[in-house]
Amino acid sequence: MEDKVFGVEIPNELPLLPLRDLVVFPFMVVPLIVGRERSIAALESATYSNRLIVLATQKKVETEEPKSDDLYPLGVVAEILQLLKLPDGTVKALVEGLRRAKIEKFIPDKPYLYQISAVDEKWEHTQEIEALMRTCISQFDQYVKLTKRLPPEAVSVVTNLEEPGRLADVIAAHMNLKVKQNQEILSTIDPRHRLERLIQILYGEVEVLQIESRIHGEVRKQMEKAHREYYLTEQIHAIQRELGKKGDRLSEIEELRKKIKQAKMSKEAEEKALRELERLERMPPMSSETAVVRNYLDWMISLPWNKKTKDKLDIDQAQKILQKNHYGLTKTKERVLEYLAVRKLTKQMKGSILCFVGPPGTGKTSVAKSIADALGRSFIRLSLGGVRDEAEIRGHRMTYVAALPGRIIQSMRKAKSKNPVFLLDEVDKMSVDFRGDPSAALLEVLDPEQNSTFSDHYLEVPFDLSDVMFITTANVLYSIPPPLQDRMEILEFPSYTEDEKSVIAHRFLIPKQLKAHGLKTSNLNFSDEVIELIIQKYTREAGVRNLDREIAAVCRKIAKEVAKEGCGKKVKITCQNLYRYLGPPKFKIGGAEKELKSGVVNGLAWTEVGGSLLIAEAMIMPGKGELIMTGKLGEVMKESGRAALSYTRTRAKDLGLDPNFYKKLDFHIHVPEGAVPKDGPSAGITMTTALISALIDKPVANDLAMTGELTLRGRVLPVGGIKEKILAGHRMGIKRVIIPKENERDLDELAPKIRRRLKVELVDSMDEVLNLALLNSTGEDEVKA
């Protein structure tokens, strides 16, 4: 049996949560504190499936491990809205009742699973039903007036209900009844009988409350004159104090109303704020809902609905700021200046969202800060790394306990203006789980056509984000969903060359570290040769973060000497004494093989931290044609290895090999650094060259590196990351690089000095690769006719 409630399918087997001293009705939202292990297991099982659970009340409170006979046979199917694990091991759950359900039987092999059947309620709107509903509402109105536990708004809630069964359930949930009485109402399936039974209970409760009120009045009348005078005197004092408190409360309400007017909200937001203010005015001061509404109004008032900073549109000044704070990055700076120029001409524009993509340490975050400085705007940064809950972006609804707006709205309040430069850092590091997809929530934030009406679940009114200049950063693009990429303009931050790193060190890093460590230029001097040595032998990165760290390490040691010997201490760092401060070199210059060996080829790879040298080794041994590939290779890279063997078999005759060579041999292709995952198609020509080199026993030049995808017909296809790969080859001492001819356009991104130091060979086919790569017996290039 399966049924549906509000579009939710109810299966015939569900986990059961036994309740003590509590009956939950349909449409009732209630928090639960769960401590029993079986109950916690039932909640977790429901959370990881369909979030549905059966709530049934125990007959006896003291029963620790209730069985079927210890539970009332009729309960409620509920949906788990929220689940929170507390430090003491208990679990706090927020559940909403959906529908009555009959507990059929316990499933023995599943300790918390029960077979259930949903209960249907059938009714017709007759005059008798209408009369019963009116009587019930009238009696409940009297009950609310006599008891001090319920606010008057409770009557308004039930007055608008049209279903008799739901009316009875809601009223019963509001009343302070015994568990048996609540269970009796829950177990009454027919709505007419349920209303009749509830009216009986209401008459009894109203009569008891009237008697209590009469007794209280009689007791007061019987007080002696002295006691009465004392009582009246204290009452007068209490009334006077209460009048003073009401006066304070009224002044607080008026102050809030004034602040709402001064906030210059949108019309819709102001109407919503004033409605909540009216609710606050009617609420008792000690009500828990008062704090919720007051917190909401504080958020609404504190947001920058109409506050802007004035843009600095001086393009020359902006260019000076960018040049002062950053070296290189010509394309990025040009794009920012273009934005300023258009902004200056149009005054209003919905600009594209910039996405800075590049390896760590290349200046993405610092450039965003400089843009804010150049524009004269406030700067806020929101890190999205590890964010996996959609509510982090959009917030929680005000009805939830401790609800808050999402981090977008929270950041806007910190910015104190509606047009800040907003950096969404590490946008490629978001993840997805059962709580939603935060990248989907960002689609509205980063769409200039939609973000003027951004809707946060907590505010429940549109907030205009169209004046915000959004900038995102990422290390890679492949983990960003395509719809999100489509909303952003990609600006790549390439790896720095050694010359660029040297300039950055002298202009920015050394002065920053000297100041941070309390040193002066007279205390410490770095020569160009020392910086070059640190770059080559103590760091291996695309950016300058580790270089900054090594310079800081030297400054710390010098600061120690200066502190001991006085401020006049002067130290000159040389290539000879550098090891005293940084220890022995961490890397060697050039990572290529020194000895010529058959089957060993230098490949070029691109990673999240820039380019790197990837050595491919091929070994041939007697066997039955098995291809072994090791080095923690991904599926695409393994396919490239299989394609390399297939291509070699088709060219066996041209290579001087026996056409059946593969039947007598096993082939092993290994890519060292086996703990590092590797994948991608760009190692195709590298593995093919290594395999052919091993088969024909001819070595490959060790100062040569290559990258390119290979087809079965021997065509060399273009690949990405050419600039980073060539820079990595240059760092490792490579003199020649083979790349696909279709990547010739990427060479324009290389600095002229790099192009002069490296010889780049452009190829279309695998034959050209072999002609350039294989050496003859004299160690010179093999040239085929």
Specify the residue for token string 């790193």.
Answer: 501
706 close to 685: Cβ distance less than 8 angstroms: yes
* CA 169 – CA 184 distance, rounded (Å): 11
* CA 331 – CA 745 distance, rounded (Å): 16
Measured in degrees and rounded to the nearest 5, phi and psi for residue 10 equal -105, 110
Residue 449: CB partners within 8 Å, gap ≥ 6? 350
* CA 325 – CA 370 distance, rounded (Å): 7
Annotated active-site residue 682? The verdict is yes
* CA 442 – CA 446 distance, rounded (Å): 6
Work out whether strand 759-763 and strand 736-740 pair parallel, antiparallel, or are unpaired. Answer: parallel
Q: Is 418 helix (H, G, I), strand (E, B) or coil?
A: coil
Give the residue among 318, 329, 456 at the shortest CA–CA distance from 398. 456
CA torsion 736-737-742-743 (nearest 10°) is -110
What is the chain's alpha carbon radius of gyration, rounded to the nearest angstrom?
38
Residue 335: CB partners within 8 Å, gap ≥ 6? 354, 489, 491
Residue 240: CB partners within 8 Å, gap ≥ 6? none
* CA 393 – CA 24 distance, rounded (Å): 32
Q: And the tokens for 196? A: 């009749």
What strand order describes the sheet that includes 736-740? 627-630, 665-670, 610-622, 600-607, 704-706, 736-740, 759-763
CA torsion 435-440-444-446 (nearest 10°) is 120
CA 763 to chain centre: 43
* CA 717 – CA 721 distance, rounded (Å): 14
Annotated active-site residue 765? The verdict is no
Q: Which of 682, 693, 698, 723 is an active site residue?
A: 682
* CA 75 – CA 117 distance, rounded (Å): 10
* CA 705 – CA 727 distance, rounded (Å): 12
- Which helix H or strand E contains 101, and what residues bound it? strand 91-106
* CA 253 – CA 628 distance, rounded (Å): 77
Give the residue among 496, 382, 399 at the shortest CA–CA distance from 446. 382
Q: Is 98 helix (H, G, I), strand (E, B) or coil?
A: strand
433-455: buried (b, 16+ CB within 10 Å) or exposed (e) per residue? eeebbbbebbbbbbbbeebeebe
Give the residue among 194, 209, 205, 201 at the shortest CA–CA distance from 133. 194
Q: What is the DSSP string of 151-167?
A: -THHHHHHHT---HHHH
- Residues forming beta bridges with residue 116, ordered by sequence position: 103
* CA 158 – CA 543 distance, rounded (Å): 65
Residue 255: CB partners within 8 Å, gap ≥ 6? none
The letter for the amino acid at 187 is S
CB atoms within 10 A of CB 501: 24
- Residues forming beta bridges with residue 709, ordered by sequence position: 717
512-547: buried (b, 16+ CB within 10 Å) or exposed (e) per residue? ebbeebebeeebbebeeebbbbbbbbbbbbbbbbbb
* CA 666 – CA 630 distance, rounded (Å): 14
Which residues belong to the active site? 682, 725
